[in-house]
Structure 1
């Protein structure tokens, strides 16, 4: 194969496309074809492996070279991830899909949505459109989706013959003679479309009560892990019920979504992401035998973070006004309009201010000068001008940002966490996941051998359900809390990385958490997420606190 010069980014995607077309490619062959060193090709293959692992897929190697052995559904999942990432970053997608076809499908699908008055979030519409384009384009190249017919989730959730609107949406494309869908393709897209616009296709109250119970339990467990009660947040429950119900349907179609904010979510809310990842996997997913991608965990984390923000409403604003109740009521109404999340606005006079307990007051707004007060004072005019409203809003934003920045810097570690892990930091060398996990489990103390066996079985069951790989070489194996006698966290740092499913791991954190000690999870997960961001810092910190 004779190739013109391509840059490294183009070369990566060309190699991926060839692998998805089921070519067997050797390092030497690629090196000669693209006129680059074998080390450059090794970097390309490493990038490809990492990309595939995001869909929990892996490349295969034999004497003929590197290749991908997967179904057409899996191939299209990889292609969709690449295309969506490129679209989100404003990059051309013509290597993987026809932009002309993309435009035709997009116009036809949006027309069908508008005619049938169906509302689906914009990001999900893009996900659906790209899926449809890939089905059409791959079919024209004689690659067809074939489902195995198990429908293990569908039989519990939906009977799709009740949703002719889905067929109507696809029929719009058929009538334009863009493509005629097979039964398998219609079934695949039905799960995907209904799983993206559930609120239109099914009323919230029709979702099974047992499913709602599982969502409530998930909220309870995450609340315990975050040490913040979110169980009374009705909006969180409703949003999660619909989101997770849709998620089940998307997974039935073996489809995934790309979360363009995933890295920002991990960096900005590390503890929350870690706690959601842990409990979403351990408690919610197990009954359904499903595995969540980082992207899906990120979307669920956004719902929880929104609830946390609602809990973190400001305590109180104190309004100082000498001009009587009429003026104070007028200004209070104006403040509430621009700061709807404020719990209370209390009014005081200058003479009463010095006698008041201001400990729960976030800041003071006053129409007069307020002397000798430690709290920040925003002085405004009695008419509350636009400039005054901007000044109040700016201080409100500054206050929120200041609260976010109060977290411990990365160089510090809470004493409780330090004491908790100091005796269980190990440095060893193993060559397999099985040997590593066996070693870690053997280090644990159980008074009851039956509980030991049950806990160890639950750890292996968790690994069977989904790899506990988190990111950047970290794995967090864990078992069922009901079999834990004493909460213990053991950290093992390996000399060399080992295979952990489709990933390489060199830091393993074994969690043994009793039900009543769930509160200890947040600080540990925050530590782990900081380590994922800076592994060298994490290792040096472990060496420092190790006893």
Structure 2
């Protein structure tokens, strides 16, 4: 056996694979050595090969080539002790770079040029070239390879580093000749970078769990999702967690659609007990599922048949209540069905669930949240379940998603120097201008520039902004009448003017009673208001003795005060004997929950009238959706006029 260096072994193997002359720099680049060093290796190899009458030929302008031999490649390699053995891929440039990328990206190791040079037996210049190549691959991910006197490491927050890891994984996949059958396999070369066992486990879970609907995912999307989750799990095992991300509320709400799927996925991954996902990790995992188009699925047709009527009833009632037809949305149907079944299961086993965005949902989606609660209250007794505010909020998210898919809702930001104080005044006044389906959010000036504005339709600001690619309207911090007109004009120019709904109030006319209309009251607190209304209802035997407690129980579930200055408390139907609408206007506004309100519309619906709940909710929604409508239907009229305009019968 002849002794040659490891690098000369690699050069010999490369030459044996060639079918013709190739330039010297072709081999020097692959081996990351200079031309001079390569010629020295060629001379050493020629000395060793001479006895076997084999020679590395050199031709001016053509390069080098290994002469023909009667020996097979394996026989030649066997002479040097390498018969049929695998090449040490860690020593070739690509595989060496993959190993370095693993150190830097996956393990967050700090390395030095000298240590890498010693490990891979190449020059520091070669190491520098390798690191430059890795940086080129992850360019655009914000994570950056940085070197100083203390060593070389990757800088960036966790989500940026995971994005860089994924981009590098795609780089490796692109280097492979594997066909696009990603659902069943990844190229073996990838497993020199990412652990095969994690990828295999994640892929298997997604394909075999009946609740994960991957049928509609393309192979590309499936591959991307497997990579994202595998990288996420690997980084968790290394002790790294996703940083808190400043997202718009509507984006956070979107991510919760797959909350229970994400939770089930984490349980099935059977992570080590020492690995705990915090709220930021969980939100990130949710986002990955949503971003890849994941949807829940129930394969049990018997369960689907059992709850089909209930789900369709819920969707129909919501459609009628908000005057948006959601009945053709098959995705909504399946989401509601899946959620309803899991909600019943949790209720029966008394397994609580927490919605991390509950308070924000109650505050910013108060109308839709309250509508969802009323619809669910109608089926609570039917299904023998106990509602929680968390469950209502989760269910509402599915309806909001369906509205987003169907309606032209706009996403509007209100910008103030700090995002607090006068911003609430501006937000509350401006919500009178916008459609109820519009998503309005207050952000600080600092936060604005940190976020992606591609999904934003309009920005309203009380301070001068740098140029952004979104329409901007400037207003004063005190939101004058002129400011309202300006925003209204901009809104109508950008979007469209809503048609005025002048249809008669068919359902409210049946439950309105002039004896239950209180105008210009002087109650000082929410408690006084509710007690005053309760006493009147009890006096007329319209409600049970537990009615007032039911009101407070409902108030604990979530806000019932709206941005338009109205509150719509609504107790459980089980405490109502006779359906009635109670109206109270106040001389001075009082604080209800989060907002000051001057109008109360208490919706009392008896169980026997639940079949009419969709119409009642729809007509209430028409009144409270804008301050203009509240003034139009209530504040500008006396008791008899209110009864008449809401479709009731006046007594002469």
Task: Give the TM-score taking structure 1 as reference length.
Answer: 0.42
The answer to which structure has the higher helix fraction is 1
Structure with max Cα Rg: 2
Comparing both chains, which one has the higher relative contact order based on Cα–Cα distances under 8 Å and sequence gaps of 6 or more? 1
Task: Give the TM-score taking structure 2 as reference length.
Answer: 0.36
